[in-house]
Structure 1
Amino acid sequence: MGIIDFFVNLLKDPRGFIAGWIVALGPIWVYTPLFLIVFVETGLVFFPFLPGDSLLFAAGVFSADGGGLNLWATLIVFYLAAVLGNTSNYWIARLFGSRIIDSGKVKALTPERMAKLDHFFERYGGLTIVITRFMPFFRTFAPFIAGTGHMNFAKFTFFNVIGGVTWVSLFVLVGYFFGGVPFVQEHFEVIVLGIVAVSVAPAFIGVIKAAMNGRKGKGGE
């Protein structure tokens, strides 16, 4: 299975993957792939497409009684992955940010997204790190942009911890408390896709607005 196929299938069926990991790895080592996926999504600017939101939700479902995961262990592992991932991303940008941007190898790090994040930092300051936690793609790029000069490390760490804890708690606990509802069980795949759609919506709307504003600007010249 290629890496792209793996992530596409994980996005479609996180419940199936977690169930398989519980059986194959056991109640302790199962947390290793969960940690790595969230860490890589938030920590490496090359992987902004990983299914963080849906994975957190599915892990919350399995953290309910009899699901195979422990709620507190799940929360702590994801807290660490989210915070350490952003921290890694920040320092990669501090040390190599200009080279990575100039190389053009990160195709998803478009000038439009960078401009959008610049606007977020100008308008919301450190809260950008918290807000973008709930926006796929942008949550991967925000700590990178912060590391290129928008924020000192102490301030970044403060908002990084708040954002990471809030993001993880929300999705894991929603899965924990509502995953056992029969409707959720019967329509799990649809709900997961809905979570992804809602998460992506702000970024998608932002792209549309930017495109419309660009056209208006050209029309007014």
Structure 2
Amino acid sequence: MIEKLIAALAGFVIAVISRFQYVGIALLMAVESACVPLPSEIIMPFSGYLVSRGELKLWLVSLAGAVGCVIGSWLAYAIGAWGGRPLVERYGKYLLVSHRDLDLADRWFQRHGDITIFIGRLLPVVRTFIAFPAGVARMPLWRFTAYTFLGSLIWCWGLAWIGVKLGEHWDTLGVYFHRFDAVIVALIALGAGLYVWRHVRHARRA
């Protein structure tokens, strides 16, 4: 089932980039950064493959990907900033999210938001959703934009460069990243489990 889904996504990515080239890359990466799990591990390596064929330029491919990431992240950030916090404040108690948790998140992004966004843009799975909590915490937009662009540029360039080196075998990269995605998801699930356990224990004590 997963293999069929990945194959379908790969076909869609190939069609969009083959027709629209740099604009297609930016569009696809914007979708990926707007909390839609469209794998950049397919988008950028295929773009790198086209670079290896002389159809595209590596630096323009990387730039297009990074610009797309910023645009998509702005959308996710805006949703978090304008609609996310009121919803969390109203319904967060049902998800064990308190006002204290929101205040902690605000302080975290005030103190460590730069490095959080930068590193988050370099991690599979995390990079897709990191903009939303930054918006909820109202991280300064200019700093969010700068570190999103820098982290995304490195990510896009790295994947495209690998695609250049792999050539016609660019699609083999997705297999390895899929395994890494599973590790990231497991760690997130573990963190969520610890979070729920801590809140349930605190509620029982109260």
With normalisation by structure 1, the TM-score equals 0.67
Q: CA deviation at 1:42?
A: 0.8
Measured at CA, do residues 12 and 137 of structure 1 come closer, stay the same or move farther in structure 2, by a change above 3 Å?
same
Measured at CA, do residues 160 and 19 of structure 1 come closer, stay the same or move farther in structure 2, by a change above 3 Å?
closer
Number of the residue aligned with 2:146: 158
Q: In the alignment, which of 113, 125, 131 is matched to residue 119 of structure 2?
A: 131
The one-letter amino acid paired with 1:157 is T
**Structure 2 SS opposite 1:134:** coil
Residue 38 of structure 1 pairs with residue 29 of structure 2: yes
Q: In the alignment, which of 156, 162, 169 is matched to residue 168 of structure 1?
A: 156
Q: Deviations over 1:58-78 (max 9, x none)?
A: 221221134x33323322211
Distance 1:82 1:157 in 2: 10
Q: CA deviation at 1:13?
A: 6.2
Residue 53 of structure 1 pairs with residue 41 of structure 2: yes
Structure 2: segments with no counterpart, 5+ residues: none
Q: Deviations over 1:121-169 (max 9, x none)?
A: 5884321111211334422322111111252222222212221212111
- Please give the root-mean-square deviation of Cα atoms over the aligned residues, in Å: 3.7
**Structure 1 SS opposite 2:130:** helix
Structure 1: segments with no counterpart, 5+ residues: 105-109
**Structure 1 SS opposite 2:121:** helix
Number of the residue aligned with 1:88: 75
With normalisation by structure 2, the TM-score equals 0.71
- 1:93-132 equivalent positions in 2, closer than 5 A: 93-99=80-86, 101=88, 118=105, 121=109, 124-132=112-120
Give 1 or 2: higher helix fraction. 2
Distance 2:77 2:194 in 1: 31
Identity of matched residues, %: 22
Q: In the alignment, which of 188, 193, 200 is matched to residue 175 of structure 2?
A: 193
Measured at CA, do residues 36 and 200 of structure 1 come closer, stay the same or move farther in structure 2, by a change above 3 Å?
farther
Number of the residue aligned with 1:203: 185
Conserved? CA contact 2:45–2:171, under 8 Å: no
**Structure 1 SS opposite 2:56:** coil
Q: Deviations over 1:191-219 (max 9, x none)?
A: 3121232244233223235536866996x
